[in-house]
Structure 1
Amino acid sequence: MTSAERTLPELDWSTAAATGVRLVRPGPRVDATHATKAVADLYQYAEQAQGLVRDTARIEAPTDTAPVRVVDRTAWLRCNVESLSGLLPVSERTTATGHITGAQIGAVLAWLSTKVLGQFDLFAPAEVAPGGRLLLVVPNIVAAENELGVDPADFRLWVCVHEETHRVQFTAYPWLRDYLRDHARIVAELTDVGAPGWQDLSRLISTRGGERLTLLDLLPDTVDVRSTIERVTAVMSVLEGHADVVMDRVGPRVIRSVGQIRRRFETRRDGRPGLDRLVRRLLGMDVKLAQYRDGATFCRHAINTVGIDGLNRVFESPETLPTLAELHEPALWVDRMGRTS
């Protein structure tokens, strides 16, 4: 299929927003004093994280091109609908398929709005945030620190360091944003959201029984899609692993309980039971957890072999990104970079 023959999927984003807002669950009950302090802390720690990440990652990035926003769940959902609708524009005609798909996307975003601690929104509209925007979801951060039983100040700074690392990645190397946007559009253009699996996910889950299923299974099995998914998987693994490594390298000198936070957070990542685990599997979030681990392993190997500045070569261009094979065997990437020095 040529690019001229591709058509973007029909999506009714107003339905997605309305459905999502209706389904968003309220956050933890916190009195006004504690809520105000949590918001103030996150703005303060987001600013503090800038220097910590710059010194730890050894990457210089502008500080005024991607604003920080501390948001609640509904605001996070609205931001993502705004960004996704720019990435995948609405069809000129409203159809039943568009309504149904929009409602399903809204339901997915409502569920995610209760899980995401922070996000660098790289697809934010240019007129709103030309360099992207950093979103910190305050009710989820408060809920997580309560659930984990960790020091709130340490945990809030730890989260901010992770998300600031993503802000630095995309503002220091703007090509990354265009690279991921282009690849996301390729997949979207090759995907038929009118296919039966997209219209009745519950039926598809029941017919697949105990087999592993994610939304990736609903994408067409073509060479274009497979190669695109492989490239996106590799780059996202590096980005997530790099952020995890940086947040841990900041270390107990700054975040006293970083070891405890990491141990408890990893247990929390893995320990979701029942329906929550099913939804996470459907959305491919177990794939995302693997990205954190594979990417972190890759980054640690590179740092141990060629140092932090050697690892930073990964962000120079699409050609210096690891392939999926190199991600799983970092020595191959290190060898290739040595041959091109």
Structure 2
Amino acid sequence: MRARKIRSPDSVDVMKPEDFEEFIRKFLPENINADDLAAAAGLPKDPESLRLLIEQMQSAMRVMPNSDSGVNWDLALSQATQIARQANLPVPDGVRREIEAALQIGSLWLGEATSLSQVHHDPKLLSRDLWVADAIGLFKVLAGPVADRMSSALAENLQQNAPEELAQLLGAASGLLKSAGATIFAMQLGQALAKLSTEVLAGGDTGLPILDRPAFIPQNLMAFVAESELPADQVYIYLIIRELAITSLFRQSRWLRDQVTNQITRYAAGISIDSGAINELAEDLDLENPEELKRALESGAFIAERTDEQKEALEAIETALAMIEGWVEAVTTVATARLPKQSAIAEAVRRRRAVGGPAEHTFAALVGLELRPRKLREATAFWLTITEKLGASKRDSVFEHPDLLPTAQELENVEDFIARLGSNGDSMDDELRKLLGESN
């Protein structure tokens, strides 16, 4: 069955806004086809999971008018936790002991490679569903601004393109429609988070730590070791040093997270909807083939081409992520020089980050942002050069103030950055004291 076009204004029956809202409320919760819903959202089809999901949607629909968010986070969390919990497997005690032993070595080696204060907290070992619970706060920050703007843009698009006779009706129901979109988005995001829980190895894998302390997912570490066919003890040491490094960086430079998220908000402000893409989908969509709708949602086809301002904001985000990840990889390279298999482990981690998994691609399509930094090799080489020419202490002090950070152009030409900061003398220290003095 093909999607039918809206009838001409002359044939539209008169319906009061409150009647329309009541119709939506009754139709969506009670007449959802479970198999079609599962197929469209990419969910498992087992009856118990679907029953719980339908109940969650019914509950979400009852409270929709009170929500102004672009995502129903309670639904996203509930769904992601449920799916992730089904994928949990027990972790042998021997693996936990190996991780704890690697932590002791990793802490010692990292202390030799960076001037940053070490994080003096025991690592948190997470199951996949517990990772979801801890990560949801970060994803509210990452996806919230984009999702809110997408939801508003869709509502604006409906109102601008609706027949005049329907404008008042849609205006009265826009809050309900926006909340319905929030529920659908939550389903998709919940699925993406559940998939991510099977891919991430540690709390800082997305480039922004989910906690103020190191966190690891032992089940996923085991899978990575098995896939890479590299010595488990060396892999654990390498990955633990990476996690300790990024956690220490964000604990010292607490403004760093705000800077990245502010850039995301700036990017989100420019999101608009491609009306032509929506109209084409309405013309061609086969409602008996839910995969068509699923592919459309996951492709980001409804988002219009980026503006010049968005391109600038996106470049700033990519530069920030590359700067962070490059620093982490450079410090890890220095700290793990004793590992016989260091190069092979580093390449396996780099390749994994460069390619990304299915969940990362789904998330990127949903919110229009890549979790993976571009130009990671260049950024790593940049920080290794800074280490060689300026030393670890001056390298790490760059993160003491945002004005000291390299620009996108300087990341491509390390000599420009060195010239700005000064490779000799106390020019960098003088600049830092001046900046900190101005901020007081």
- Alignment of 1:162 with 2:242, yes or no, is yes
Report the TM-score when normalising by structure 2.
Answer: 0.60
Are the counterparts in 1 of residues 326 and 377 from structure 2 also a CA contact under 8 Å?
yes
The aligned residue for residue 208 of structure 1 is: none
- Alignment of 1:81 with 2:136, yes or no, is yes
Partner SS state of residue 119, structure 1: coil
The aligned residue for residue 158 of structure 2 is: none
Distance 1:277 1:171 in 2: 25
Are residues 148 and 27 of structure 1, via their aligned partners in 2, closer, same or farther at CA, if it must alter by over 3 Å?
Answer: farther
The aligned residue for residue 149 of structure 1 is: 229
Gaps spanning 5+ residues in structure 2: where?
1-67, 149-174, 279-291, 429-440
C-alpha distance after superposition, 1:218-270 (max 9, x if no partner):
477345433332222222112111111222212342x3322332244445556
Are residues 86 and 269 of structure 1, via their aligned partners in 2, closer, same or farther at CA, if it must alter by over 3 Å?
Answer: closer
- Alignment of 1:49 with 2:121, yes or no, is no
Q: Report the aligned-residue RMSD.
A: 4.0
Distance 1:9 1:220 in 2: 24
- Alignment of 1:21 with 2:86, yes or no, is no
Which one of 72, 75, 79 corresponds to residue 12 of structure 1?
72
- Alignment of 1:106 with 2:217, yes or no, is no
Are residues 134 and 220 of structure 1, via their aligned partners in 2, closer, same or farther at CA, if it must alter by over 3 Å?
Answer: farther
The aligned residue for residue 245 of structure 1 is: 330
Bigger mean CA offset, 320-329 vs 141-150: 320-329
Gaps spanning 5+ residues in structure 1: where?
1-7, 206-212
Partner SS state of residue 24, structure 1: helix
Residue 216 of structure 1 and its aligned partner are, at CA, apart by 11
Are residues 166 and 276 of structure 1, via their aligned partners in 2, closer, same or farther at CA, if it must alter by over 3 Å?
Answer: closer
Are the counterparts in 2 of residues 235 and 322 from structure 1 also a CA contact under 8 Å?
no
Partner SS state of residue 214, structure 2: strand
C-alpha distance after superposition, 1:122-163 (max 9, x if no partner):
575xxxx6xx24321111110000111111111111101001
Bigger mean CA offset, 309-318 vs 86-95: 86-95
Q: Which AA in structure 1 matches 2:218?
A: V
Are residues 39 and 330 of structure 1, via their aligned partners in 2, closer, same or farther at CA, if it must alter by over 3 Å?
Answer: same
- Alignment of 1:232 with 2:317, yes or no, is yes
Distance 1:40 1:256 in 2: 21
Which one of 298, 315, 340 corresponds to residue 256 of structure 1?
340
C-alpha distance after superposition, 1:96-137 (max 9, x if no partner):
11001111111221222121111238575xxxx6xx243211
The aligned residue for residue 5 of structure 1 is: none
Are the counterparts in 2 of residues 11 and 99 from structure 1 also a CA contact under 8 Å?
yes
Are residues 28 and 268 of structure 1, via their aligned partners in 2, closer, same or farther at CA, if it must alter by over 3 Å?
Answer: farther
Distance 2:184 2:88 in 1: 30
Are residues 27 and 176 of structure 1, via their aligned partners in 2, closer, same or farther at CA, if it must alter by over 3 Å?
Answer: same
Within a 5 Å distance, the mapping from 1:127-146 to structure 2 comes to 132-146=212-226
- Alignment of 1:307 with 2:391, yes or no, is yes
The aligned residue for residue 116 of structure 2 is: 59
Distance 1:282 1:304 in 2: 39
Distance 2:293 2:361 in 1: 16
Which one of 319, 326, 336 corresponds to residue 410 of structure 2?
326
Distance 2:391 2:355 in 1: 34
Which one of 172, 176, 199 corresponds to residue 252 of structure 2?
172
Are the counterparts in 1 of residues 119 and 247 from structure 2 also a CA contact under 8 Å?
no
Are residues 29 and 162 of structure 1, via their aligned partners in 2, closer, same or farther at CA, if it must alter by over 3 Å?
Answer: same
Instruction: State how many pairs are aligned.
Output: 313
Are residues 313 and 231 of structure 1, via their aligned partners in 2, closer, same or farther at CA, if it must alter by over 3 Å?
Answer: farther
Q: Which AA in structure 2 matches 1:202?
A: R
Which one of 296, 306, 309 corresponds to residue 203 of structure 1?
296
Are the counterparts in 1 of residues 81 and 194 from structure 2 also a CA contact under 8 Å?
yes
Are the counterparts in 1 of residues 273 and 302 from structure 2 also a CA contact under 8 Å?
no
C-alpha distance after superposition, 1:187-238 (max 9, x if no partner):
44554699878x9561277xxxxxxx7x699477345433332222222112
Are the counterparts in 2 of residues 235 and 321 from structure 1 also a CA contact under 8 Å?
no
Report the TM-score when normalising by structure 1.
Answer: 0.75
Residue 179 of structure 1 and its aligned partner are, at CA, apart by 2.0
